[in-house]
């Protein structure tokens, strides 16, 4: 009788092991599409964020020539934040701001330049200081 008991225990343990492997396989098959959907959603969210930042960049560039000082200053601040948050945009932003200053080429004499020009100069100086470190 003890032989039957040990055989039944072996059969039971093998059946439990097979059931565990089948359960793990089925769980893996269920998680695999969920993981790929999560990756796709993450990629899509990143693309949407970059599209939004590109829109901010384009709008700010257009606002640099606005006649109102507040609008130009806000554009400079938006460009600063985009350059800070997205390093791959920083080089084009700083090249754009340098070109903007060169194109303006206004002699202010003894007067101080407008606040937006001062903000651009300060931003470019901080960029140079960061690169020198």
Distance CA 83, CA 130 (A): 13
Q: Is the confidence at residue 131, as pLDDT, over 80?
A: no
| Confidence class for position 9, pLDDT limits 50, 70, 90 | confident
What is the pTM (predicted TM-score) of this model?
Answer: 0.66
**pLDDT score recorded for residue 39:** 86
Q: Which two tokens stand for residue 123?
A: 């931003």
Contact residues for 74 (Cβ-Cβ < 8 A; gap 6+): 60, 63
pLDDT in tens, 49-73: 989 999 999 999 999 999 999 999 9
Q: Is the confidence at residue 132, as pLDDT, over 80?
A: no
Q: What percent of the chain has pLDDT over 70?
A: 94
Q: Give how far the C-alpha of residue 41 lies from the chain's centroid of Cα atoms, to the nearest Å.
A: 14
The residue whose two tokens read 């601040």 is 77
Q: Is the confidence at residue 128, as pLDDT, over 90?
A: no
Distance CA 96, CA 102 (A): 10
Q: What percent of the chain has pLDDT over 90?
A: 40
Cα dihedral 44/45/47/53 (nearest 10): 160
């Amino acid at each position: 009788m003890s032989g039957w008991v040990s055989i039944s225990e072996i059969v039971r343990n093998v059946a439990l092991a097979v059931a565990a492997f089948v359960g793990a396989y089925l769980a893996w098959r269920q998680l695999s599409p969920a993981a790929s959907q999560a990756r796709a959603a993450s990629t899509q969210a990143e693309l949407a964020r970059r599209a939004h930042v590109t829109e901010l960049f384009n709008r700010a560039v257009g606002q640099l020539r606005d006649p109102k000082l507040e609008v130009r200053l806000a554009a400079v601040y938006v460009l600063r934040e985009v350059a800070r948050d997205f390093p791959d945009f920083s080089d084009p932003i700083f090249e754009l701001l340098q070109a903007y200053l060169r194109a303006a080429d206004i002699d202010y004499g003894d007067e101080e330049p407008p606040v937006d020009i001062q903000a651009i100069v300060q931003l470019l100086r901080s960029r140079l200081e960061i690169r020198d470190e």
